[in-house]
Amino acid sequence: FNSSFLLPSTNDRVPTVYLDGHRVLNLDTKDSLFVGSKKYVTSKKHITQYPDGRTNPEAMTYYMGVHGHNNSVTNGIGRIGYMAGGKSALWNDETMTDVFVEKTKAYIKKNKEKPFFLYYAAQDIHVPRTPHPRFHGTTSLGYRGDAMVQFDWAVGEIMNALEENGIAENTIVIFSSDNGPVYNDGYKDGTTVELSSEELDRGHDGSGIYRGGKYQIYEGGTRVPFIVSWPGKIKPGVSDALVNQIDLMGSLADYLNVPLNDNEGIDSRNTMGTFLGTSKSGLPYMIEEAGKGKALRRGNWKYIPDLKRGYGSPKMNKQLYNLAVDPGEQNNVIDEYPEMAKSMAEELDKILNGESIRLNR
């Protein structure tokens, strides 16, 4: 990237400061920033020290942290990891979306006369969910639901900025997510379900008809929203084609006539026609992943091998689903189709031990 304005990590981790390019925004050099073990950061003298949520849980005044989100406490929120110093540079959790939206608008306005690539990585609705007070109460789901509304607002503001600058018609916008939904993922923010252990949180099923959520190999954890907009080129519609985010690199490179070396985008295939809606053909197969677990999609069939217990996911025995008739993965048909399971198990093993999907080797 030619420029960046970002968080050093996810918003539940230290350090809780913005990076503008390679500099910490608003850092006072007399209160230098340190990140590391508790022993390391507490050894730093004459700089700001933050409460440890494990020994001083009362410092977590915004809401309580769980699942290890209880180390350094900043803005009343426990984080993963320890930091010291940098008090003047601390972000305000509740205004974070506003900050990112304004930075995005400014970039669009500045670069509207030339081609650009902009990546907006929203912190919503990742934990800690801290929507601006103006969004509080907009849903019946508390912080989680209100953060969704805030994110929806942010997307609308960015789309409006493209319109206002006269470039909406010829701008490709790709909207997606990194995993399926999750409920309590580190904070007691009003959610009633641990991780994705149940489908419903206060009557709301984040994954809809699909089973499971974040950390799980089921469709609820691996299937994500995916919208491509290009008003000047793409006709509105819905596609059932099998596509994967990993193929954006190979697809856009081919579309822009940028050759990839053999060691670049090794598993990224060209599906640009599908992304643009000119083709209904999706991928013949693809890998699904949750933690260390892998599964194989081949058309409407999905094969899950034996998987060890992982964070947020139970131990699993081999499973086979026909998603054409069972999108919710409720009926394991592995005993009815042993040859299909065997064939897909062999293909999965071949892919995982191969060098490159794109180069077919």
Beta partners for 304? 319
Give DSSP secondary structure letters for 260-276.
PPTTSSTT----HHHHT
Interval 2-61: pLDDT, tens: 999 999 999 999 999 999 999 999 999 999 999 999 999 999 999 999 999 999 999 999
For residue 236, give the amino acid letter. P
Q: What are phi and psi of 14, to 5 degrees?
A: -80, 155
Residue 203 contacts residue 219 (beta carbons within 8 Å): no
Interval 104-152: pLDDT, tens: 999 999 999 999 999 999 999 999 999 999 999 999 999 999 999 999 9
The yes-or-no verdict on residue 154 having pLDDT over 90 is: yes
Any idea where the domains of the chain sit in the sequence? 5-91, 95-275, 285-352
The second-level CATH assignment, the architecture, of 285-352 is 2-Layer Sandwich (3.30)
Q: What is the pTM of this model?
A: 0.95
Quote the DSSP letter at residue 135.
G
CA-CA distance, 130 to 146, in Å (whole number)?
9
CATH superfamily ID and name for 95-275? Alkaline Phosphatase, subunit A (3.40.720.10)
Residue 71 contacts residue 82 (beta carbons within 8 Å): yes
Burial 73-91 (b: 16+ CB within 10 A, else e): bbbebbbbbbbbbbbbbbb
10: exposed, middle or buried (C-beta count within 10 Å: 0-12, 13-18, 19+)? middle
pLDDT of 277: 95
CA-CA distance, 301 to 266, in Å (whole number)?
24
Quote the DSSP letter at residue 186.
S
Nearest residue to 177 (alpha-carbon basis) of 128, 219, 212, 226: 226
pLDDT of 30: 96
Quote the DSSP letter at residue 183.
S
Q: What share of the chain is helix, strand, coil (3-state, %, to 5)?
A: 25, 15, 55
Beta strands in the chain (DSSP E): 5-6, 19-20, 23-24, 34-36, 73-74, 77-78, 82-84, 173-176, 200-201, 204-205, 226-229, 285-290, 293-298, 301-304, 319-322
pLDDT over 90 for what percent of the chain? Answer: 99
CA-CA distance, 330 to 139, in Å (whole number)?
30
